[in-house]
Amino acid sequence: MNATAKLNAVLKHIKETFVGKNEIIDLLGIGLLARENAFLLGPPGTAKSAIVRSLSKGIEGDKNFEYLLTRFTEPNEIFGPFDIRKLKEGELVTNTDGMMPEASMVFLDEIFNANSAILNSLLMALNEKIFRRGKETKKLPALMFVGASNVLPEDEALNALLDRFLIRINCDYVEPDLLHEVLLAGWRLEGSEVRENPTISADEVRELQILCRKVDLTAIRKEYVDIIHSLRNTGIKVSDRRAVKLQNLIAASALMCGRNEAIVSDFWVLKYIWDNEEQIEILEGIINKIIEKDNSASAHPQALYNKTPDAESVMKEVNYLTEKWQDENLSFEEQNVIKDKLRYIQTRCDWIKDVEQKKYIQNHIESLWQKILQTI
């Protein structure tokens, strides 16, 4: 079994354990292959920690580090204490044994509780995979960092921390239809049923990370440039640095499917680069419209997963935006949010199969656009 097949086997096992979490698990696999960091946003009880822990267990041969940050977390708790013996000799050397600088998989829960004492070192570790403390500089062996939080940061100083996570994943409770399967899977897990878990070595993951950089993006690069321009025009900030790094995610999607060349459907990973929750639906609308053109049999499973919208729920969203637009005190930013959401709803409307329902909703959307244009 080659390394790609081994990683897919690890991810498949985790999906069987955590029903309804395929999207999260696949994205963590993409981050691991691309050696890019992932951020999980969601309420308690959505299995964020458990999924990351399972992925860490699937990687053998190296150490893992997990920590729940509070406002009072000190650098020593993350990076390790100063070596007392060296300190007596007048040297400031950190004893990193068992701490983050030696781990191959790092999970930092409630990451936005990070205080200024550890923020600078953490930013460098996340961005450059380097640990620097005083005169010390150490290259980190981390395959990837995963951060999690129940909420997005309100403090602008912490936005730099979110920026270090290329992949952003919204974690929610499973769909009601899957709850029965969740209960069964959870019961088996609680019963500590003995199972031989598939694994992949840290060295094999590193080999895959090198292969990822060799994937040919020539066939999709022009369309990728167009997408970046489109996202920027929509108000979604994609810096040149991020645009370069996002290519790693596209390449990882191709490699995960056993391909050495990227195809249009690999753009599915671009749905997960939002800065706030309002952008999630907007990105889905833009990217889904592009990837649905690709009917390749070798597309990533997540690219093939398109949610067919319910006509009733779409109409409710149109009515909500219509009512919202009537508010005379709307700020300029709020008006732009409504326009962006309406564009997304318009895209979703195209997927409704019932012709009459589609036409009915499109008429209401057109009516709202007329009201919007009258106020500009």
The answer to whether residue 193 scores a pLDDT higher than 70 is no
For all residues of the chain together, what is the average pLDDT? 87
pLDDT tens figures, 85-115: 766 566 677 778 889 999 999 999 999 998 8
- The listed range with the strongest mean pLDDT (163-177, 200-214, 273-287) is 200-214
236 and 126, same domain (yes or no): no
Gap between the terminal Cα atoms of the chain = 61
Say how far apart CA 170 and CA 168 lie, in whole Å: 7
177 and 256, same domain (yes or no): no
Is residue 256 in a domain? yes
353 and 266, same domain (yes or no): no
Contact 125, 145 (CB under 8 A): yes
Q: Which residues of 157-193 are buried (b: 16+ CB within 10 A; e: fewer)?
A: ebeebbbbbbbbbebeeeeeeeeeebeebeeeeeeee
Residue 246: CB atoms within 10 A of its CB come to: 22
pLDDT at 54: 92
Is residue 251 in a domain? yes
Looking at 175, 190, 205, the residue that finishes a domain is 190
Say how far apart CA 252 and CA 32 lie, in whole Å: 9
Residue with tokens 């940061």, as numbered in its chain: 153
Is residue 195 in a domain? no
pLDDT at 87: 61
148 and 110, same domain (yes or no): yes
Say how far apart CA 47 and CA 70 lie, in whole Å: 20
179 and 263, same domain (yes or no): no
253 and 331, same domain (yes or no): no
Helix (H, G, I), strand (E, B) or coil at 267: helix
Domain count, the chain: 3
pLDDT at 319: 92
Looking at 253, 277, 304, the residue that finishes a domain is 304
Is residue 207 in a domain? no
In the chain, % of residues over pLDDT 90:
50
pTM for the model: 0.78
What CATH number corresponds to the domain at position 180?
A: 3.40.50.300
Is residue 169 in a domain? yes
Is residue 206 in a domain? no
Which residue range forms the structural domain that includes residue 367? 311-375
- The listed range with the strongest mean pLDDT (13-22, 85-94, 226-235) is 226-235
Looking at 157, 190, 223, the residue that finishes a domain is 190
Helix (H, G, I), strand (E, B) or coil at 17: helix
Contact 208, 3 (CB under 8 A): yes
Least confident of 26-35, 280-289, 337-346: 337-346
pLDDT at 131: 87
What's the token pair of residue 198? 């598939």
161 and 55, same domain (yes or no): yes
Of the candidates 267, 300, 298, the one whose C-alpha atom is nearest the C-alpha of residue 11 is 300
> What single letter denotes the amino acid at residue 91?
E
Region 312-333: mean pLDDT is 86
Is residue 85 in a domain? yes
pLDDT tens figures, 252-304: 999 999 999 999 999 999 999 999 988 998 898 899 889 988 878 888 888 87
315 and 233, same domain (yes or no): no
pLDDT at 367: 92
Residue 371: pLDDT band by 50, 70, 90 thresholds? confident
172 and 110, same domain (yes or no): yes
184 and 239, same domain (yes or no): no
122 and 232, same domain (yes or no): no
236 and 334, same domain (yes or no): no
Residue with tokens 């749905």, as numbered in its chain: 271
DSSP 198-261: --EEHHHHHHHHHHHTT-B-GGGHHHHHHHHHHHHHHT----HHHHHHHHHHHHHHHHHTT-SB
Is residue 204 in a domain? no
Residue 179: pLDDT band by 50, 70, 90 thresholds? low
